Amino acid sequence: MNKKSFFNVEGLNKSFAGLKAVNDVSMHIETGEILGLIGPNGSGKTTAINIMTGMIKRDSGKITIDEHNIGDMPAYLVPVYGLVRTYQTIRLFKSMTCLENAMMGAIGVGIGRRAASEIAGELLEEVGLGESIGLPAERLTFRDQRLLEIARALAASPKFLLLDEPAAGLNEEETDMLLSLLKTLPGSRNIGILIVDHDMRLIMNLCNRLQVLNYGRTIAEGLPKDVQKNPEVVNAYLGSTAS
């Protein structure tokens, strides 16, 4: 049986010029489950991810993985403790090959060059980029760039993976492919996933639990089918579309 790990966020706060972007948000994920973080545009989802991975400083709050306090670590140490992310706007090492891109995930957490290249090769096969390992990342199609970014994240053998709108820009068929790939990860690699996305079909089919943000505050959490019916959530979404 795989050892369980816990990712805990307690009372996270962040203001930009007096505006509360993240307001007392708490979150708990354990390995093996998928948590969906949803909410209207500007509700603080991406800011929350940026804070959790140390990319921007928080005002207050506690972020831990098991007993490690990753909130006080520089961003480049966060992956070493098992937390990696992907970006809404894909960020790859454009001029480097796919293999090198995926290797960087492993090398970044201190794995040696040869082992990193083996891990990367296997992962690229797994996500379906086996044919393109020698191509520079910038020559890939949009879909393949998304997959490469996920492969790079997985190469760090994370305990927790934060996906920032992985389906943005993908068509329905590509999203289905992504869905079936992501669905297997918690079981096969014993990782916990936090996913932010606007594609409700993806979110409803993928997530074990949902947490809804609005104006930086948690307004609902629970099972997808319950959250869907929550009047406050319906209001937040309709409100934002109406305005």
**Interface contacts to other proteins, rule CB under 8 A:** 53, 55, 74-80, 84-85, 87, 91-96, 99-100, 103-105, 107-110, 112-113, 116, 131, 133-134, 138-139, 152, 156
Q: Closest CB to other proteins among 35 and 92?
A: 92
Of 101 and 211, CB closest to other proteins: 101
Contact 140, 27 (CB under 8 A): no
Q: Report, in Å, the least distance between residue 70 CB and other proteins.
A: 12
CA distance 175 to 167: 6
Q: How far is the CB of 143 from other proteins (least distance, A)?
A: 14
Query: Whose Cβ is closer to other proteins: residue 104's or residue 167's?
Result: 104
Cα gap 98→120, rounded to integer Å: 9
CB of 236 to other proteins, least distance (A): 29
When the beta carbons of 9 and 236 are compared against other proteins, the nearer one is: 9
- CA-based nearest residue to 73, from 102, 47, 53, 46: 53
Distance CA 152, CA 195 (A): 17
Q: How far is the CB of 64 from other proteins (least distance, A)?
A: 18
Q: Are 30 and 225 in contact (CB under 8 A)?
A: no
Q: 106 or 178, CB closer to other proteins? A: 106
CB of 17 to other proteins, least distance (A): 22
Ranges of beta strands (E only) in the chain are 6-16, 19-30, 34-38, 60-65, 68-69, 83-85, 160-164, 192-196, 209-214, 217-222
